[in-house]
Amino acid sequence: DGGITQSPKYLFRKEGQNVTLSCEQNLNHDAMYWYRQDPGQGLRLIYYSQIVNDFQKGDIAEGYSVSREKKESFPLTVTSAQKNPTAFYLCASSAWTEINQPQHFGDGTRLSIL
Amino acid sequence: RKEVEQDPGPFNVPEGATVAFNCTYSNSASQSFFWYRQDCRKEPKLLMSVYSSGNEDGRFTAQLNRASQYISLLIRDSKLSDSATYLCVVSRYSTLTFGKGTMLLVSP
């Protein structure tokens, strides 16, 4: 069954702690993306990656880090520097071979502060 | 001016009604356009792409006016299951910019 899998579904972070959100896709998509959504707000781009071992900052990258060691995987680390991490985090992917392909989303991770 | 602007709604309509949503975007270099649907506390799902000539998918019709930088979505014969937030999305070089969404509530 092809798709994008995010885990965990819910995550709680303690003060000063780094946490990592997982995103895996088996769609053979080149590009992967991380977004954050706050209540009543649009999605905001955190980081994106078009190829393995390369990624770019989005609009709100501060306090986050990513890696892209494998095509299928694009984990997001929310560091202790991110002072307001409570949000709905969404991972997406798209075929990069043609520009402007629509993105397809995982079912998200809800992060809260303990 | 915000990059992608939508009326947040909610639009309250009875079943069977026709409803239209509009969206404006600020970047004239935008290349592709989409409508996504997002149910409460769920991920966005692609509803349809929007083409310059206009396009239809069942009860849904999307239109694009590049000169006015305006996108629309028309839903005919509304169903209860159409209740959701509809996100207008604009793309340039494969990065997407999302509107905040328009909420639709369809009642019996």
Residue range A51-100, pLDDT digits in tens: 999 999 999 999 999 999 999 999 999 998 888 999 999 999 998 756 66
Closest Cβ opposite residue B32 in set A40, A50, A100: A100
Q: What is the mean pLDDT of chain A?
A: 92
Q: Round to whole Å and give the CA distance between A12 and A109.
A: 10
- What are the C-alpha distances in Å from A48 to residues A73, A92, A98, A101, B31? 12, 9, 16, 14, 18
For residues A104 and B46, the answer to whether their CB atoms sit within 8 Å is: yes
Q: What are phi and psi of B36, to 5 degrees?
A: -115, 155
- Residue A97, pLDDT score: 58
| Both tokens assigned to B105 | 């509530």
- The gap from C-alpha A10 to its chain's centroid, in whole angstroms, comes to 14
- pLDDT band (50, 70, 90) for residue B71: very high
From the list B45, B95, B98, which residue is nearest A42 (CB)?
B98
Separation between Cα atoms, residue B103 and residue B108, nearest integer Å: 17
* A100, two tokens: 């402007």
Q: B3 to chain A: nearest residue by CA?
A: A42
CB B100 to CB A41 under 8 A? yes
Angstroms from A80 CA to nearest CA on chain B: 25
Residue B18 pLDDT: 98
pLDDT at position B94 over 90: no
* B31, B41, B46: residue with CB nearest A100: B31
